[in-house]
Amino acid sequence: MLPRDDPALIARWRDAIFHRVSVRSFDRQPIPETSLHQLTKTIDLLQPAAPAARAVVVDDEPRDILRGAAYGLFAGAQGYIALLGNPKDERIDQQIGYLGEGLVLEATAMGLGTCWVGGMFRASKMAKKLASPGERVYAIIPLGYPASRQGYGHRVLKGLARSKGRKDLATICPSFHQAPPWVKAGVEAARLAPSAMNRQPWRFTLQDDRVILTAAGIDTPFVSKKLDCGIALL
């Protein structure tokens, strides 16, 4: 069964969309085994819709796989999700985004903090540890319970990403005000999705009874706009 076929899960994740924030400081409280198991079950649920992508839940601090000072930007994380896939598959970026954001929403619903990390990790070290032949590591998502106060690293990255700004609904969907309610609900949720440097590249166009998702703007060195669009599909 896919997520779209489960009304209770849809409601759970929709609520998580409006509560999710990027967390970069964690309180070092261990993540319960039941929560880690639930994330693994969520991978199995999402996998049919993202066959080219793979996710691994790691019950360990990401200290050894974050580059240098980057670990200090995500202090206290007690686990992480690694997102991997075959770079030869033309759909891989979208599927990485879809699979990863489904896990982010499930983690959020369980009270865990998360943050997408696309370029500050030791990819070769992670590949040796987790990847199958031909796979690439696309991103990691640190996991843990949010600290009561977010630290300096959070403020630095938040400032770089200008994370308070969200594009107008009419910018990401020019026909938003003429759209049916189900389209408006989807666009409103997608508008809150995370993206690299908060660039929000998604653009929604209505064609008959379909919604077409395309990407605008430029790519960053580490994260494809297609990955951002995959995130917005949730």
pLDDT grade, residue 1 (50/70/90)? Answer: low
Q: What is the pLDDT of residue 155?
A: 47
Residue 83 has pLDDT above 80, yes or no: yes
Q: What is the pLDDT of residue 71?
A: 60
Q: What is the pLDDT of residue 119?
A: 79
Q: What is the mean pLDDT of the chain?
A: 89
pLDDT grade, residue 120 (50/70/90)? Answer: confident
Residue 74 has pLDDT above 90, yes or no: no
* Span 147-186, pLDDT tens digits: 986 554 544 444 444 445 889 999 999 999 999 999 999 9
Helices 225-232, 92-109: axis angle to 10 degrees equals: 40
Exposure letters 196-205 (e unless 16+ CB within 10 A, then b): bebbbbbbbe
Q: What is the pLDDT of residue 215?
A: 94
Give the number of other Cβ atoms within 10 Å of residue 142's Cβ.
27
Q: What is the pLDDT of residue 150?
A: 58
Mean pLDDT on 42-56: 97
Q: What is the pLDDT of residue 2?
A: 66
pLDDT grade, residue 189 (50/70/90)? Answer: very high
DSSP element (H, E) containing 58: strand 53-58
Lowest mean pLDDT across 66-70, 95-99, 204-208, 221-225: 66-70
Spatial neighbors of 159 by CB under 8 A, at least 6 apart, are none
CA distance 99 to 54: 8
pLDDT grade, residue 70 (50/70/90)? Answer: low
Q: What is the pLDDT of residue 121?
A: 87
CA distance 99 to 82: 11
Domain 3-232 CATH superfamily: NADH Oxidase (3.40.109.10)
Residue 43 has pLDDT above 50, yes or no: yes
Give the number of other Cβ atoms within 10 Å of residue 227's Cβ.
28
CA distance 110 to 203: 30
Residue 83 contacts residue 52 (beta carbons within 8 Å):
no
CA distance 200 to 169: 11
Mean pLDDT on 16-25: 93
Mean pLDDT on 209-225: 85
Mean pLDDT on 6-28: 93
- Domain residue limits, the chain: 3-232
Mean pLDDT on 218-228: 83
Mean pLDDT on 123-145: 92
Residue 107 has pLDDT above 50, yes or no: yes
